[in-house]
Amino acid sequence: MNQYKRLDRKLIKKGSIIDYYNDIIEVNHEKQVIFDYIDHKGAAAMIPVSSDGKIIMVRQYRNAINQYSLEIPAGGLNPGEDPMACAIRECEEETGYQAKNAHHLIDVFTTVAFSNEKICIYYTDDLSPSKQNLDEDEFVTVEKYSLEDLVKMILNGEIQDAKTIAGILAYKNKIS
């Protein structure tokens, strides 16, 4: 088995959400290679289940893929913020529904090949209507779906967002 040892990490670009580094890695005590590394502050997401059993989803434009994406509400952690508090905050900000409590479901590392981004995913069925409080660059449409419809959308490729796929399938498994 090859041995990997990080020799150095060089900051290439500091961003508002991520920082980009080049890691110099020694492989098997023989050679050095450069790996791209993206440092992420972490995030949290919520599966909000309405009183009629529908899951509240958000549809928003995603620049990286140049298309709209149907997702569970989620967002980045503020410095020092607890992931559950973040999930509850993001749920209300994006959907206009306040979660009175939340239950941890699953944690997901989104892209282990080059990033440490970890999303902690929660669910709630204890919601009360509130109001959206979107960031200035967010334009979000709120939609409701049955769990069965969301699973079908995942399996036929309509939903491709990793956190949403992991969260919905973990929730389905939890309640089955």
Q: Which domain holds residue 61?
A: 41-175
> Count of domains in the chain?
2
76 shares its domain with 121: yes
Please determine, for residue 2, whether its predicted confidence score (pLDDT) is greater than 80: no
Q: What is the value of pTM for the model shown?
A: 0.92
141 shares its domain with 169: yes
User: 38-77, pLDDT tens digit by residue?
Assistant: 999 999 999 999 999 999 999 999 999 999 999 999 999 9
104 shares its domain with 26: no
104 shares its domain with 168: yes
- CA gap 18, 84 in Å, rounded: 21
User: 145-158, pLDDT tens digit by residue?
Assistant: 999 999 999 999 99
Which amino acid is residue 10, in one-letter code? K
Residue 154 backbone dihedrals phi, psi, to 5 degrees: -65, -50
84 shares its domain with 19: no
- By annotation, the residues acting in catalysis are 136
Instruction: Give me 83's structure tokens.
Output: 């992931």
